[in-house]
Homo-oligomer: A and B are copies of this chain.
């Protein structure tokens, strides 16, 4: 058995928030409280930025009721940041860890956050400072390697499915062509979740475009034309990350963050680009009603809609990170493994090396994407449905026609 390290815990949240990211935070706090080798539990304000500024909250002094309310509240309760620390900053982080006797660091975030933890872990080892650095997974994009799926995804997927259910009804009420732009920089999992909105044969989404397949304007227009001539309406789910054959986004604002990520969200530009394309290039005559919505930040922040499975698993990965940090004697990230792919959905959390998660992006596997590149497969639906949980019931009139006179 490894000897247990005595000292303080520090928790940070990084990257885009999710609706269940505070479940992981609270999972870490409540689990940490159970272990006597943990002397204090701190939270860094705004992730790595707060560490560098030494602005820490004493989470051990929060009462349980407040923590549970925060757990059920969307978006990073500690504040978050999109910042990749420089090499010099990583060295400063270690000095600060030493100064505050931080022996356990938990960084809740995506692959960028795993990379940060990994870099600092290497420096700690090089400096012979004994501590445990853990990455706790969160992302609405579901794009982390190793894990079956990421906490945060199920709830965002539920929001997307519900939004498309509603938009399908709206489009059925007043037929036209509708483009819905969904988050997901490189991975199409969230856009693919739009498929869970389908119940009736003619339900949206009628077309789904993912970043994993090159976007061809001509094929897109032909697809839209085909659905429109068949149903008299089209709802299209498009990932914000779709790109042409060359891999370049069709449209961006040109803004880039310190991880090199191009700004795709927070603008209606892609939706407007595609509606203009349809309005000007469709062969169908007459005035087409073409609209777009960009679901935007609501996908990762909307309160009151949660996948219970997702909330539970976000809590679990936080708790498991603490247990592994105390027992494994090393650093790592927590992943989820599906135990029973069939009827009874069940997962277990397990330890995976930081290097297996850091930086890399998981894309939708080919078996989840329809051959034509404009839809998903049933295999994806089976994968995603248990993560999202129940969806609202949609009623439809039988619609018995009255004989014409």
A166 in the interface, Cβ–Cβ < 8 Å?
Answer: yes
Tell me whether B57 and A173 are in contact (CB under 8 A).
no
Choose the segment among A62-70, A208-216, A307-315, A323-331 that binds chain B (4+ C-beta atoms closer than 8 Å): A62-70
A137 in the interface, Cβ–Cβ < 8 Å?
Answer: no
A235 → chain B, closest Cβ, in Å?
10
A339 → chain B, closest Cβ, in Å?
30
Tell me whether A292 and B305 are in contact (CB under 8 A).
no
Tell me whether A174 and B17 are in contact (CB under 8 A).
yes
Among A165, A394, A395, A405, find the residue whose CB has the most chain B CB atoms closer than 10 A. Answer: A395
Tell me whether A396 and B169 are in contact (CB under 8 A).
no
A170 in the interface, Cβ–Cβ < 8 Å?
Answer: yes
Tell me whether A267 and B265 are in contact (CB under 8 A).
no
Tell me whether B162 and A303 are in contact (CB under 8 A).
yes
A315 → chain B, closest Cβ, in Å?
14
Choose the segment among A143-151, A269-277, A368-376 that binds chain B (4+ C-beta atoms closer than 8 Å): A269-277
- Report Cα–Cα, A153/B272, bound state, in Å: 27
Tell me whether A268 and B292 are in contact (CB under 8 A).
yes
- Report Cα–Cα, A140/B277, bound state, in Å: 30
Query: Can you tell how many copies of this chain the complex includes?
Result: 2
List B contacts of A269 (CB < 8 A). Answer: 268, 272
A173 → chain B, closest Cβ, in Å?
4
Tell me whether B405 and A100 are in contact (CB under 8 A).
yes
Tell me whether B298 and A167 are in contact (CB under 8 A).
yes
A94 in the interface, Cβ–Cβ < 8 Å?
Answer: no
Tell me whether B66 and A297 are in contact (CB under 8 A).
no
Tell me whether A62 and B397 are in contact (CB under 8 A).
yes
Tell me whether A173 and B17 are in contact (CB under 8 A).
yes
Tell me whether B292 and A266 are in contact (CB under 8 A).
yes
- Report Cα–Cα, A72/B393, bound state, in Å: 8
Tell me whether A301 and B174 are in contact (CB under 8 A).
no
Asked, given contacts A396-B77, A401-B58, whether A297 binds B291 with beta carbons under 8 Å apart, the answer is: yes
Tell me whether B61 and A166 are in contact (CB under 8 A).
no
A404 → chain B, closest Cβ, in Å?
5
A219 → chain B, closest Cβ, in Å?
24
List B contacts of A265 (CB < 8 A). Answer: 291
- Report Cα–Cα, A163/B77, bound state, in Å: 17
List B contacts of A396 (CB < 8 A). Answer: 66, 69-70, 73, 77
> What 9 pairs between A and B have smallest CB-CB spacing?
A268-B268, A266-B291, A69-B395, A166-B301, A75-B169, A293-B296, A304-B392, A56-B402, A70-B395
Could you write out 8 A-B pairs with CB less than 8 Å apart?
A22-B395, A54-B405, A58-B401, A69-B395, A76-B174, A163-B298, A165-B303, A267-B268
